[in-house]
Amino acid sequence: MSTTVALVTGANKGIGMETARQLGARGITVLAGARDEQRGREAERALRAEGAEARLVRLDVTEPESVRRAADWIDREHGRLDILVNNAGIARGGPPSQTDLEAMREVYEVNVFGVIRVTNAMLPLLRRSPAARIVNVSSEVGSITSMTDPASPLARMPTGLAYPSSKSALNMITAMYARELRDTPIKVNAANPGYTKTDLNRNSGFRSVTEGAEASVHLATLPDDGPSGILWGHLWTVDGPADAYGALPW
C-alpha cells in the first residue's frame, strides 16, 4: 500500500502548518500549500527537519491558474489525493453597519470561493483514493445556533460580519458536498479549531496551534465508519471543561 497523500492549503504557518506537522508525524506525505514561494520553502524545510515527508505546493486559492497548476502537479507526482484540508483563511472587517463590500468580497474570495475552487480542482484526484477525506476548516463563529445563543461565550465576542458569515457559508458548502458525495467513500466535514493563538487574531486566542490542529487531523483521518457532513471540534462553554470536543450545531 502506498503512502497516504494529503494537501493542506495555507500550510506555511498557524493551524495549517501544525496540521501538516501532525499529519506528517503519522507517516502521511504532506503537500504543504503556500501562496508565497519563500514562506512555503521555509515551512517545507522546518517540516522536513522534523522528519515529515513534506513537499511545497505553490497554491493561491484565489487564483484559478495557480489551483489548476497545483492539481496538475499532484496528478503527475502522485496520481491521486487521499486528504484535502481546506485550511487557508483570512479575517477582515468590522461590525455589519461598518462593513464595506470590498472587505466582504476579499474574505469570501478566500474562505468561500477558494474552498470551492480547490475542492472542485482536486475532486478527480480524490475520487481515485479508496477513502478520501475533505476537511473544511470552519469555525464555531459560523454556527448560527451558537452565535445567537446568549448563554454561549461567543456572545461576548465582538460582532463581525464578513468572517462569521463566510464560515456559515462554508458550513452549508460542507453539508452540500457531503450530500452529493454520500454514495462515495469520500467524507466531507467541517472542523472547528477553537479560539487559537495565530496571526489571524493577532495571537489573542487561548488555544495553542497544537490543540487548534487537532480537529482537522481527527477529521482527516476518520475511519470508514466515521461521520460525513458534520461540524466537529472544540466545544467552548462557560462552565465546561477546557478541552471538550464534539459535534457543534450548524
Ligand X SMILES: NC(=O)c1ccc[n+]([C@@H]2O[C@H](COP(=O)([O-])OP(=O)(O)OC[C@H]3O[C@@H](n4cnc5c(N)ncnc54)[C@H](OP(=O)(O)O)[C@@H]3O)[C@@H](O)[C@H]2O)c1
61 part of the interface to ligand X, by CB under 6 A = yes
- Residue of 108, 163, 177, 195 marked active site: 163
19 part of the interface to ligand X, by CB under 6 A = no
Q: Are 106 and 90 in contact (CB under 8 A)?
A: yes
163 belongs to the catalytic site: yes
Binding to ligand X (CB under 6 A) within 128-147 occurs at 137, 139
Q: Which stretch binds ligand X (CB under 6 A): 13-21, 50-58, 121-129, 173-181?
A: 13-21
Instruction: Render the burial of 202-240: b for 16+ CB within 10 Å, e for the rest.
Output: eeebebebebbbbbbbbbbbbeeeeebbbbbbbbbeeee
The amino acid that residue 168 corresponds to is: S
4 part of the interface to ligand X, by CB under 6 A = no
Query: Binding mask 70-109 vs ligand X (x if CB under 6 A, - otherwise)?
Result: -----------------xxxx-------------------
Determine the Cα–Cα distance for residues 25 and 133; give it in Å rounded to an integer.
18
Determine the Cα–Cα distance for residues 180 and 174; give it in Å rounded to an integer.
10
Q: How far is the CB of 197 from ligand X (least distance, A)?
A: 7
With both helix axes pointing from N to C terminus, report the angle between 162-180 and 114-126 in degrees, rounded to the nearest 10: 20
Nearest to 236 by CA among 226, 248, 223, 222: 248
Query: Binding mask 107-126 vs ligand X (x if CB under 6 A, - otherwise)?
Result: ---x----------------
Provide the binding-site residues for ligand X, judged by CB under 6 A.
9-10, 12-16, 35-36, 39, 59-62, 87-90, 110, 137, 139, 193, 195-196, 198-201, 205
Just list the catalytic residues. Answer: 163
